[in-house]
Amino acid sequence: MLAILQFDALNRSFVDQLLGEGRLPTLAGLVERGEWRSLKTPASHFAGATQPTHYSGIELGTHAQHYLLQWSPQEQRIRFRRSFEFPEPTWERLARAGRRTLMIDPYEGHLPPQPVGVVASGVQFRNYLGLEPWTSPRAAGRTIDRLVGRRRPYVEEVFGRPHVPSLLALRRRLAGAPGRLADAAVGLLAESSFNLIWLTFLSCHIGGHQFWNLSQLDEDALDAPTKRILEGTLGELYEGVDHALGRVLNALPDDADLIIDSPLGMGENTSRADFLGQMLDAVIEGRIEPKRSASVPLWRLRAAMPTQVRGRITRTLGPALSREVMARTSVAGVDWSRTRAFVLPSDHHGQVRLNLRGRERDGIVDPGEAEELCERIATGLRTFRDFGGGPAIAGVDRIEDIVGADAPARPLLPDLLVRWAETPSTRLEAVVSPEYGQIERAGQGSGRPGGHTAEAWALLVPGRSRIATRSGDEDVIDVAATACALLGGDMAGLAGAPLLEL
């Protein structure tokens, strides 16, 4: 048996701090038995590509899944990511070899078309964009309802200024999430046998975004007990996962092979994605034209309406309609007959795409002009600096340099990837360019104090296997390759190499 226990979106320095304080006893015991490995991760450019890449072992350049809202060139519009083909996850690949998987809460995953064992989404909590409730097979859903309870909370992030009562309610919902996952996993393991166990602990992921620090709140307005609770929440969430992890380990065979991993990291939020539409307009037009920017309508809506109001609207609309409204709003009012380049939705690094003739339905940029336009955009964007600070942008990368010019998914990906400077952006009021002038922030951006980093790692704890000899080139895609190598799955098309070997 192989157990992949995904301790999702952690900060390694914070983990080390908690280990030193004795607050993560389960993980500490595993550290004594295993070895750490740093992993390369798609989060270096596309945080949203991490989960599909991690679950499948297929690289971004092949599968194209890079954000929850993606561009459909033939329709000239934004679609929710499920409109695009998903890479085959490891549990479906193993099912073809007759292996059974227990997978709980594959973040941004999808319902398997064929039986694979038990795959369940929405066990710890439910989320409109990444964790809808479904189970394969359906009968397993009744078992999980018996083990966990039928009413699991919805955990939704609403971008914009945080609301303290909403944060406190979120804290309560996240605190119970690891226990619900452990209840389901331990109960299902007692009733059936599996070859692969893959559990995604998600409370620290959402908690990292919302409780990284208090930079989005007026700390002077917080009473001392509330401030103390909010400041301590993230550490308590890490402790909760550690405790649930111990319960799961007690239910596994002593000789099970273990991989505890975090396929992307968490740290200070450095994204300036809400500025990018106006920055791009300034470069192309030589002046600020906020009404033309493809990303501005959605960010303006977020800035104009209180988060708690938008949260109520989202709950009223429901998952499908909420996703459609987000997709439609992302490019509302764009005049495609005049738009040469536009910003794709993102909450991490910025994504720019050319309105290319022959590729986009309403494309106007001649392919022969694309190279010059990309260079002009990159040069212009790099002139922007934080108001009263250093550069706003660390680099502007061509997609060919990230995934390769011949990557099958190239037509569905942005043309330029804007990497932001590694300085906190949560209290940034404006960006300014000596050539184009100043852009004021509308609202408070995403409202997340925590953002993703390209820090990924795995703790390898062999049972019946041994740790493979590697040269420091370990990658997130290796996790799926390890599962297939140990359990006899089809390795065709997998780009990674095993981390453990028989």
What is the pLDDT tens value at each position of the chain, 502 positions in all? 999 999 999 999 999 999 999 999 999 999 999 999 999 999 999 999 999 999 999 999 999 999 999 999 999 999 999 899 999 999 999 999 999 999 999 999 999 999 999 999 999 999 888 899 999 999 999 999 999 999 999 998 878 888 899 999 999 999 999 999 999 999 999 999 999 999 999 999 999 999 999 999 988 889 999 999 999 999 999 999 999 999 999 999 999 999 999 999 999 999 999 999 999 999 998 866 654 444 455 655 665 566 666 666 667 777 777 778 778 788 888 899 999 999 999 989 999 999 999 999 999 999 999 999 999 999 999 999 999 889 999 999 999 999 999 999 999 999 999 999 999 999 999 999 999 999 999 877 888 999 999 999 999 999 999 999 988 899 999 999 999 999 999 999 999 999 999 8
What is the per-residue pLDDT for 318? Answer: 75
10 CA to centre of own chain: 12
Produce one character per residue of 303-320: b if its CB has 16 or more CB atoms within 10 Å, e if not: beeebeebbeebeeeebe
- Whether 43 and 456 have beta carbons less than 8 Å apart is answered as yes
- Whether 494 and 58 have beta carbons less than 8 Å apart is answered as yes
DSSP H helical ranges for 382-428: 399-403
Contacts for 360-367 with beta carbons within 8 Å, 24 or more apart? 360/73, 360/76, 360/336, 361/73, 361/74, 361/75, 361/76, 362/76, 362/336, 362/337, 364/336, 364/337, 364/338, 364/339, 364/340, 365/340, 365/341
Domain ranges of the chain: 2-63+75-268+451-501, 273-446
Residue 43's Cβ-side half-sphere holds a number of Cα atoms within 13 Å equal to 25
Topology of domain 2-63+75-268+451-501, per CATH? Alkaline Phosphatase, subunit A (3.40.720)
Instruction: Classify residue 71 by its DSSP letter.
Output: E
Q: How many CB atoms lie within 10 A of CB 97?
A: 12
What is the per-residue pLDDT for 294? Answer: 45
What is residue 68's three-state secondary structure? coil
Length of the chain: 502
Instruction: Classify residue 388 by its DSSP letter.
Output: T
What is the per-residue pLDDT for 292? Answer: 47
User: What distance in Å separates the CA atoms of residue 466 and residue 288, rounded to the nearest whole number?
Assistant: 58
Residue type (1 letter), 146? R
